[in-house]
Structure 1
């Protein structure tokens, strides 16, 4: 008999029919196949890692991240954060990472500003301005960055000694030992620091209020007033420390070493060439009718560019700009060629001293992956904010 007495289908036949129906669905079948592939890759990775660790232990090679708490005993010639040679390995890694983030942030800011100016100047009707910017772009885009860095590093050898330093701008001195610039220092009384934090939080609330449109006429004055009152209550004192040559060296100000200046100038000039082309393409992507509409409203060319063209251009150039910013982080590893102690240089020293090469490579990959994913997330968030919402 094919069925029961009442004529209802058997339970196992019904279950088999449901299973066949699920597998016949394209979406469900795709999910099942992808899960199976992920499971196979994870199993292969686990087998590879366990086999590697077993072989390393059998040969007496240390494995694990316990070495990070040991004293590093390495020298970092230049650091944004405070560092001493007796500090543990993990703090040396943090110091190197801070140097990389510092350089990358400065290059991103400077290249974005210069790229915007040069990209717009390339469209100028002035042949001298357009030609000069084109030379910059073509040289930067068609030269390997390592060659540019080595070329710029050679210039320090032909500069005069400290006693005969060049003074192109007030408070700025250039010599073979680096660049001396004025330094801004802020002195905040300890009892006023808490008040300043509260003022900044209130200012942030005022900014959110203005963005939400709850109190638009009061938002901007509120932010400025709260910030000013907070600084006054905190007894903040801003002083500029100017460099001065005394005897055999400079005192005061901030010294930028040749290594730091070389990697900063080299990567900025290199990245600016790509950013300028992205900006130029973004300006050209905006229809000519937008310029005509701005002129019909009586706006000047500068106001049309600032109020009409650039806001529309941003929706187009943010994705390629994000790729260039990620390249800045990756190109910062070239600092090792000029002797600047960035994250990769510090990790190379740690690997050679601790003999933990596998763990070091994992740390390098994880850190750069985290930095680039953070940049991508920030760019995607901003891209969603400025995207046109269809109703």
Structure 2
């Protein structure tokens, strides 16, 4: 057996020590960053100190102690009840819930409408394609503030009074807003809502499984109808488990207004409609550009597998387009949430409106506005985190 020459082990290179010397480039960069951070902190401290000193000299009170005091104004729309002893914490909570109400509903409706219009831009029907194009160009180029004012005028001046309300079944549309039936809430509705959430989760899991099956075999599975069956089936199962309550609170015409049922006020309806139509025009362009970014070869490959246009769009094109769609879509969700602050123009009592009334009563302008800033910052960070998670889960995994 021939002698194997020994390979001499080379020593590992010693780790380079970081030098904090001014003569070191790395050291200078660290020193520059420390100086920059210290300068920002010092500037912030200087601004706060001068502001507090000027407020003391003018006899202006400061602090957040007013939040525990009762607020003395009426709020036209509220999700939670309040009374004469309710504090400003309750008032700001009502404003936050009203903001979330219009933001969540607006995001869902704007996403659906924007996606449909974005896909419609590729329709082979000339009329549908041009109508979608006209919608985008009109609503995207008219300022959102002006749109809100127009819709508010429509709902408060043009629509008929409640005596002559437009009626479709048990739905009434008038200057008093949109009145519609609402279930009398019992255990069955709660379980149905839980079943609805579980159905959505199950449909998402099934759609992912169907996508993996398609990637492995090239054979598509029905997703839409199975997802709808899961959502509706679990919701109905929860409703039946809760005793199958069938009571509805139906709106009726009273002496002075439409009574009973649930009502979307004209202020809320004008704000929601304006935000949805405006944001959907931007979402439509995002969807259109995402679909256009998918190469023509992907469409041809899907057609060669025997997929129709619907399956090709849903199984091949949109999953690849999501990588382009989701990042700018996040910005539009943030914009819709922040644009809800324009509700003061139509009298809807969301967070900014509550803060304006609060600072007028208490004189605590900095404190009230700082609460609004922190709330919008938190909402934006939460929305970004959720969309980043969705972006990571929807990303195409490279082999």
The TM-score with structure 2 as length reference comes to 0.81
Pick closer, same or farther for the CA change 1:386–1:35 going to 2, 3 Å.
Answer: farther
Deviation at 1:211, TM superposition (A): 10
- Rounded to whole Å, the distance in 1 between the matches of 2:164 and 2:233 is 47
Secondary structure at the counterpart of residue 237 of structure 1: coil
- Rounded to whole Å, the distance in 1 between the matches of 2:61 and 2:200 is 49
Q: 2:223 corresponds to which residue?
A: none
1:310 lines up with 2:322 in the alignment: no
- Rounded to whole Å, the distance in 2 between the matches of 1:212 and 1:329 is 29
Pick closer, same or farther for the CA change 1:78–1:197 going to 2, 3 Å.
Answer: closer
Q: 1:289 corresponds to which residue?
A: 297
1:329 lines up with 2:328 in the alignment: no
Q: 1:12 corresponds to which residue?
A: none
RMSD: 3.4
The TM-score with structure 1 as length reference comes to 0.83
Contact 2:95–2:354 under 8 Å retained in 1: yes
1:140 lines up with 2:136 in the alignment: no
Deviation at 1:285, TM superposition (A): 0.8
Q: 2:160 corresponds to which residue?
A: 160
Deviation at 1:128, TM superposition (A): 1.2
Contact 1:286–1:309 under 8 Å retained in 2: yes
Pick closer, same or farther for the CA change 1:20–1:349 going to 2, 3 Å.
Answer: same
Deviation at 1:314, TM superposition (A): 1.2
Task: Tell me which stretches of 4 or more aligned residues in structure 1 moved more than 6 Å.
Answer: 195-213, 220-229
- Rounded to whole Å, the distance in 2 between the matches of 1:306 and 1:202 is 23
1:345 lines up with 2:344 in the alignment: no
Q: 2:70 corresponds to which residue?
A: 71
- Rounded to whole Å, the distance in 2 between the matches of 1:277 and 1:40 is 42
Q: 1:61 corresponds to which residue?
A: 60
Would you say how many aligned residue pairs link Structure 1 and Structure 2? 367
Contact 1:80–1:95 under 8 Å retained in 2: yes
- Rounded to whole Å, the distance in 1 between the matches of 2:119 and 2:192 is 40
Q: 1:30 corresponds to which residue?
A: 29
Secondary structure at the counterpart of residue 132 of structure 1: helix
Q: 1:50 corresponds to which residue?
A: 49
Pick closer, same or farther for the CA change 1:250–1:39 going to 2, 3 Å.
Answer: same
- Rounded to whole Å, the distance in 2 between the matches of 1:325 and 1:201 is 22
Which of 301, 304, 320 is residue 309 of structure 2 equivalent to? 301
1:171 lines up with 2:179 in the alignment: no
Deviation at 1:212, TM superposition (A): 11
Pick closer, same or farther for the CA change 1:137–1:223 going to 2, 3 Å.
Answer: closer
Contact 1:187–1:236 under 8 Å retained in 2: no
Deviation at 1:203, TM superposition (A): 8.8
Secondary structure at the counterpart of residue 185 of structure 2: strand
- Rounded to whole Å, the distance in 2 between the matches of 1:206 and 1:267 is 31
- Rounded to whole Å, the distance in 2 between the matches of 1:365 and 1:348 is 13
Deviation at 1:268, TM superposition (A): 0.8
Contact 1:93–1:343 under 8 Å retained in 2: yes
Tell me, which stretches of 5 or more residues in structure 2 are unaligned?
Answer: 1-15, 213-226
Q: Is 343-352 or 299-308 further displaced after alignment?
A: 299-308
- Rounded to whole Å, the distance in 2 between the matches of 1:203 and 1:178 is 32
Mapping for residues 183-202 of structure 1, pairs under 5 Å = 183-188=182-187
Deviation at 1:119, TM superposition (A): 0.8
Secondary structure at the counterpart of residue 173 of structure 2: strand
Q: Is 21-30 or 234-243 further displaced after alignment?
A: 21-30
1:97 lines up with 2:96 in the alignment: yes
- Rounded to whole Å, the distance in 2 between the matches of 1:226 and 1:125 is 38
Secondary structure at the counterpart of residue 186 of structure 1: coil
Tell me, which stretches of 5 or more residues in structure 1 are unaligned?
Answer: 1-16
- Rounded to whole Å, the distance in 2 between the matches of 1:222 and 1:113 is 20
Deviation at 1:388, TM superposition (A): 3.1
Q: Deviations over 1:211-254 (max 9, x none)?
A: 999xx9xxx99999987766555446354433232455323321
Deviation at 1:139, TM superposition (A): 0.9
Deviation at 1:347, TM superposition (A): 0.1
Q: Deviations over 1:123-153 (max 9, x none)?
A: 1121211111111111111101111111112
Deviation at 1:42, TM superposition (A): 1.0
Mapping for residues 161-240 of structure 1, pairs under 5 Å = 161-167=161-167, 169-188=168-187, 232-235=240-243, 237=245, 239-240=247-248
